[in-house]
Structure 1
């Protein structure tokens, strides 16, 4: 009896999934560059003689106090704009569950285990450092998050053309990472509950779900309802971003007959640029502005809270994701794609140590009663993310020729039919088209040779 074939890990993606991943990551890359620019602008602004204007703008309050929404601009960015980010994350998660890498439990096991280990290891590193150093354990969740937009911005800057399978693996890791970050925020950072407001938010979500099930269309129905649900969720004591992810998960992401795109995919296509291009960069602008000096940077490596964050992002993330992936592959009998090697997985795991958006948010929540420590933890997030980015850039550059060759092979489309040739190699019609193309090229070369021979006036013509 023949042995069962081993499942391929990081193999070629199906064409529809590859197209979706490419489109999603293209938007995330642009958003990541904007995020990077916003973070740099915030750091420069907060460390110049006009830093008081930055603090004044960040702390400026606006909103109806009667509704409990008289918030600072920084608060609006963290609770309001990030709700849009988590709404997109909810749609991504729903799509992964019904049509992506997570729909098959066997295929999902590996990235899910890798993501869980990639969150547990940084938390463990943080706890060990702070228990040994006598620091606060409240920030254990800060180094657990991966910022996919920032990671892709680093890829864009260093110019590495990662194969689509590695990019999809990074995206799936980030989606699962976002899910657990949402659960952490909901469970561990919920203040005293206002049950009346929470009940109203739940009722609003039920109405949102009911309207979707009845195929009611129109942004003018859903946007006002979403704002009401968000306001009630904020006043309930549950972090307001939970409303965003809940509504994202309710959207239908499976296609019906005759549909080119599901409603979830369509809405994600519309909202993702708003999230990546506006919401997240503005959050970075109001959250990344911390005072940085030689003494402050030195404190990052001497205080247990900040050292735990840096080591969690740089060491914990890389070892957790790589170790979880290797163990899961071994015990699920998954075979690594022959075009890649385990150092490639380690490089991606190191890249996942870039924690920015959600790490900054959790840092603000974990140390909300201590503004000085909050800024120090933010500096640690920036420092750890920078170190992880540099290490990942070095590791990826070592394999850049291999990646470029694989990427060019994936993109090659010699018959120019819009479908990469690697997806048509088993199709007889493809080989017939390629034979016709090669014959036309050969005929063109023969004609050119005849013209060249005639113009030179010498030699016999070929028969």
Structure 2
């Protein structure tokens, strides 16, 4: 009696449908531009903070504006972190919902690989950081700093050096970053919430529920009369953000929750053809330039302005366990966590990588994922109090690690890009 045939090994297909591929290409192009703007803004902040006019930079960052009785009198730096980044996380919420409803994350067979890879890319850096700072337990509160990937920076590097890399690799990076953002959101919501004011929280959730109902009702109105829909939705969203901020939960979580309320698909009673984009796609298209072109660069400008204090101050930062833990976590932990967990899950579940990909390609993307900037800087501000030297040292480490990861990934991916270009030229009909 012959043995039963071996189970079919399922391909790890990341190419997706045509519409999804077009959407991803558009996202890549936009994020690449956004990454360049963030680099420029962060560089300006660093230069100003280390210039003879550093006091003016500090005064601008610490200038308080707002309304104190509602807990809304904040410094400009805090407004950038809590207010402008809520726009960034609103776009992240839209991306996550689209991926879960109509993207690759809706299918378990394709979702499991980036989900596990992202989890490994969070767990390993956190463990490495904890092992480095373990002699000083009070520093463990920064464990989540090296766990984030800055998608704008990563995609900007990929766009510059990877013109011939397989599209499957680009989709893998984008999906990995989406899941990474989801994990970061959960960490911020759970780990960095010290105390909760119940009444503002309930009012904030009620406002989010109202926003969800209105977004369902405003889908057709938004298409026909966008200004009228904005007049309805925008004030409710601002009120929801204010109450969540007053509750003690980081206000960026409100942005994610509001993004999740936006409908992705049309309903038949809306009488909108299926070819028309859903409201989530419309919002993503409209908010992404505001997020990538203004919100994140302004946050980077205020958060990256670290005064190194000359050679002595830089030497102090480089010998801080926090600095070493973050650099090791991002530069070593990210690629090890992503590649090893990807290898384990593909072997355990009999999943094959896309035929156009090799493990060398995934190593390059793993190193690229070590560029942690926007969310890492945010977690740094949540981990260490203003005036704590570990705060500036952590920001220095993020900058150093991100540059190191970008350079190393550029070298690896340039090698792979040349390889794929030669393959394309050899298979091109003469």
Taking structure 2 as the reference length, what is the TM-score of the superposition? 0.91
Q: Considering only CA atoms, is the larger Rg found in Structure 1 or Structure 2?
A: 1
Distance change >3 Å, CA 406–CA 226, structure 1 → 2: farther
SS in structure 2 at match of 1:399? helix
User: Which residue, out of 292, 296, 303, partners 1:287?
Assistant: 303
**Alignment partner for residue 286 of structure 2, among 266, 270, 283?**
270
Name the structure 2 match of 1:75.
78
Task: State whether residues 126 and 146 of structure 2, in contact with CA within 8 Å, keep that contact through their aligned partners in structure 1.
Answer: yes
Q: 1 CA distance for matches of 2:15 and 2:245?
A: 43
| 1:288-330 superposed Cα distances (whole Å, 9 cap, x missing partner) | 0001333344334421111101100001101000111111111
Partner Cα distance (2:266, 2:8) in 1: 31
Give the corresponding residue for 1:111. 114
Which residue is 1:149 aligned to?
A: 152
Distance 1:50 1:280, change over 3 A: same
Q: Residues 67 and 376 from structure 1, CA distance in 2 versus in 1: closer, same or farther, beyond 3 angstroms?
A: same
SS of aligned partner of 1:128: helix
How big is each residue's C-alpha offset from its partner over 1:165-223, in whole Å with a ceiling of 9 and x where there is no partner?
11111111111111111111111111322111111101101111122233464011110
Instruction: Using the TM superposition, give the Cα deviation of residue 238 of structure 1 relative to its aligned residue in structure 2, in angstroms.
Output: 0.5
Shift of 1:3: 3.9
Report the counterpart of residue 449 of structure 1 in structure 2: none
1:151–1:165 CA distance, 2 compared to 1 (3 A): same
Q: Which residue in 2 is equivalent to 1:253?
A: 264
List per-residue Cα deviations over 1:119-146 (Å, max 9, x = no partner): 0000000001111466611100000000
1:302 aligns with 2:319: yes
Q: For structure 2, which runs of at least 5 residues remain unmatched after alignment?
A: 222-228
With over 3 angstroms needed to count, the CA separation of the structure-2 counterparts of 1:2 and 1:360, relative to structure 1, is: same
**Residue 41 of structure 2: aligned partner:** 38
Structure 1 residues 53 and 157 mapped into 2: Cα distance closer, same or farther (>3 Å)?
farther
Other structure's SS at 1:62 match: strand
The SS at the match of 1:206 is helix
In structure 2, the partner of 1:354 is 371
Aligned length: 413
Residue among 396, 400, 412 paired with 1:379: 396
- 2:90 counterpart (81, 87, 91): 87
1:398-417 alignment, distance < 5 Å: 398-404=415-421
**1:8/1:335 contact within 8 Å kept:** yes
Alignment match, 1:388: 405
5+ residue gaps, structure 1, are 415-437, 439-463
Return the alpha-carbon distance in structure 2 between the equivalents of residues 167 and 199 of structure 1.
Answer: 40
Q: Which has the higher contact order (CA 8 A, sep 6+)?
A: 2
Conserved 8 A contact 1:10-1:166? no
Query: What's the TM-score once normalised by structure 1's chain length?
Result: 0.85
- Among candidates 236, 244, 259, match of residue 233 of structure 1: 244
For 2:12 and 2:242, the matched residues in 1 are separated by: 43
